[in-house]
Amino acid sequence: MHYGCNMRQKVGEYLLDISKLVFAGMALSAIMEMDGISNAAVVAVGASATIGTAIIGFALIRRS
């Protein structure tokens, strides 16, 4: 059982790292103002992906 708990924690930490990268990508995309993509859409998708991965990551860390 110890191996499973350690794996959950590692996956949780990985998801938190992914959420940070998605947030940074969202911020850079909003600053660069790409043609054909609205800033509102970038922020909405980026924020939902960031929040989703962060919640799952924190949940996995808490369960381990």
Please state the pTM of the whole predicted model: 0.82
pLDDT score of 35: 76
64, 27 in Cβ contact below 8 A? no
The token duo for 46 is 């980026």
Task: Give the whole-angstrom CA distance, residue 35 versus residue 6.
Answer: 44
Domain of residue 43: give its range.
2-63
State pLDDT tens for residues 20-57: 999 999 989 888 877 788 888 889 999 999 999 999 99
The domain total for the chain is: 1
Share above pLDDT 70 across residues of the chain, in percent, rounded to a whole number: 92
